[in-house]
Structure formats: C-alpha cells, structure tokens
Structure 1
C-alpha cells in the first residue's frame, strides 16, 4: 500500500481558526470527515500541548501536570475521557444553535450536560488582572478575568474551555456562530456582512474550490465522451 506524505511526516499542526477558545477546542479533530483524520486531544500530553499553545496554561504548569499525570495514569485517562465528552457537548450545543437558533428546549438540554464542567471550573477559579501582556488593560477589554494559574488538578486543562463556553452561550457574539461549509468545524464569523463560509479560506475554502474545479472538469470530459459516442 502506498504511504502518503502525511503519514510519513505525521499530522500537521492544528489550525486555530474558530475565533473563540471553546470553538477551537471543539475543533481539535483535524480533517474529521476525511482520510487524514487526527485527534489532537487523544492523550493527556495532547491536551497539555494544545493548552500551552492557546495560552490557557503556562509551560511551567504543563511540566508539573505532565509529571503528575505520569504518577496518576488513571486520573489522566479519566480527564481525557471528560475532555472528549466536553468536546462532543460543545459540538452538539453550538452546532445545533447554528442550525436551529439558540432558543428552545434543546439548548437547555445541552446546557445541562455542559453545566457540571462549568460548575467545576468556577469552583476552582480565581480572579486576576487582565493585563493582556501589557501594563494596563487594552481599551474596551475586561479589567479582570478568570484564571487557574497554580492548580495541579489534572482537569485544569478543561476549566478555561468550559468557562469560555458558558460565556459564549450568553454573549452578544452568539449570533456570529457559524459552521464551515466544507467541514464540521465551528467558528465566529466576524466579517462585516456575515458572509464567511469556511473555517479558513486558505484551507477548506481553497480545497472546496479545487474540488469543484475537478468536478467540473470531470463532468465536461463525460459530456464530451458521450457526445463523441453519439456521433459515431
């Protein structure tokens, strides 16, 4: 069997295109419907790598958690299972809102599934100044934010995601929620006229255009072959 270049080089770096922490976590399965499907949150080390990449935990905290996870393998495995359940919940909750709007009993049903993660997150949260890497907050940004800076609880990797999901559910950004026209990834459409169709123009947008071009070429060849056959 021929080996693809992706198999030889390993999975690509996961694009971060959701525009919101909760949506980016929902999108941690790359190429979910395609031949190069890869779960970037399959292990506890994966969760740490993703969390440090998006900035929800520090490298120093990740090192502590990694050492703790090796000592507490059962707890680490349980956290991964919870991570996958949280991810499924986010996809179902926000996916349904894209399709049917935020109202109705279905939103409440999915919130009931999300609520334990939010409750656990807020029970462990502390409040810190939201400096955004600057000496003072940027204009229009919150003065304070939730944080979990010193936690050695293995589930701390899930707390910022759950908190962000709860915030999004009641925010004025919810009307910008959208789903990629090619893959199931979720994103916030921040374009002026809400016309964004793909999670990433350079990824799914380009791929869809190529697929349509190939389909048109194939249809034209079939049409030409049928015409030639009819003329014989």
Structure 2
C-alpha cells in the first residue's frame, strides 16, 4: 500500500517530533525541498515513525482519498505548523527567545490536542496524554502532544542545529560537542569538503 520507505537517515534527531521537523531535504527548507508532498507522504512518515499503526494508516488513507480537498488543506496546515515549530526550536537551540506569535501558535495547538486526548498511565505509573484515532486530525494531534512532552522535558536544553543543514537533533553525546545531524550525511559531506579544500591548497 505504501510505496515510499523512509530510511534510517530520516530518524536521527533522537526525538520523533524533531524528526518530523526534519522532513525536508538536507539542502534547505524552501518549498521545493519539502518531503511531505501529499497527505499520503504524511501517513507514510507517521507509520515509519510509529506515530500511527498500520490499521490507523489504512483508515486515515481511506479518509484522505475520499476527502481530497480536506486532505490537501490538512497537509498545508501541517507543513505550516511544522515550519512554525521549527522556528521556535531553531531560536531555542541558539539561546534566543521565540517570537510571541510563533509561541502562541504552538501553545494553541497543544491546548487543542490535550482537549481531545485521554490521560493514560504506563506500566510504571507515569502519566501522559494520548490522542485517540480521529481521522485527519490524528497525526497533527499526536505530534502536538509530542511537542508538549519535549517542551516539558530537560532535553530542550540539548537541542542543536546541524552545522551542515537545517536539521535539528538532541545532543546526548558525552562531551556535548555533536555538530552534525548524522556523520553518514552532513558529517561525511563536511569531511569531503575539507579534503577537497586541502587538496586544492596543496596544488
């Protein structure tokens, strides 16, 4: 049913909400670099990220297919929300204050998600909000709840922006000096660039 396979290189942030913010090409955040080009691509990513399960993916896909206009608008709204949340975390990673307008947008999205969620306890008694499956709103609400959990944790102070692209990640390295979203991508590109510059300087 789902043809596109999101590889492991799409999930390097250390947090699924940040992985969602990273659903753009390494080369930038312009519209033509957006990897979420249809609502089916949103469903595919969410399934790969374990935001939804396969039964929910099929149900949401059917709803989107039967309501293409609503699905298209849901995609537009979700991408706009992604970019707003990205701007907030980009500011936070640089020790800057997010803009009040952007902060208000994410505040409202979290409030809306919680208003329709259930408070559940896990096996060791820790409570967390769970969004029930509810059509095209399922994925946005679960992402908003993930945003709430991230903002409420001490991981926020460890969020960094890759020096080679726009991607964000949580730096859990021992010395807190991680520079790249992944050594397999931006890290290797930087090494190749340094090698080229050194070779050019010696010629």
Q: TM-score, normalization: structure 2?
A: 0.87
Structure 2 spans left out of the alignment, 5+ residues? none
Q: Is the 8 A contact 2:132 2:138 kept in 1?
A: no
Q: Is the 8 A contact 1:23 1:90 kept in 2?
A: no
Q: Which residue of 2 aligns with 1:187?
A: 169
Q: Answer yes or no: is 1:113 the counterpart of 2:95.
A: no
SS of the aligned residue for 2:59 comes to: helix
Q: Distance in 2 between matches of 1:62 and 1:128?
A: 22
Q: Which residue of 2 aligns with 1:124?
A: 116
SS of the aligned residue for 1:97 comes to: helix
Alpha-carbon spacing, 1:11–1:31, altered in 2? closer, same or farther (3 Å)? farther
SS of the aligned residue for 1:56 comes to: coil
Q: Which residue of 2 aligns with 1:209?
A: 191
Q: Which residue of 2 aligns with 1:133?
A: none
Alpha-carbon spacing, 1:200–1:161, altered in 2? closer, same or farther (3 Å)? same
Q: Answer yes or no: is 1:172 the counterpart of 2:154.
A: yes
Cα-Cα RMSD: 2.2
Note the 1:31-46 alignment, pairs <5 A. 31-33=26-28, 38-46=33-41
Q: Distance in 2 between matches of 1:39 and 1:33?
A: 9
1:81 to 71, 76, 82: 76
Moved over 4 A (4+): none
CA apart distance, 1:149: 3.9
Aligned length: 197
Q: Answer yes or no: is 1:71 the counterpart of 2:53.
A: no
Alpha-carbon spacing, 1:177–1:193, altered in 2? closer, same or farther (3 Å)? same
Q: TM-score, normalization: structure 1?
A: 0.77
Q: Is the 8 A contact 1:126 1:147 kept in 2?
A: yes
Q: Which protein is bigger by CA-based radius of gyration?
A: 1
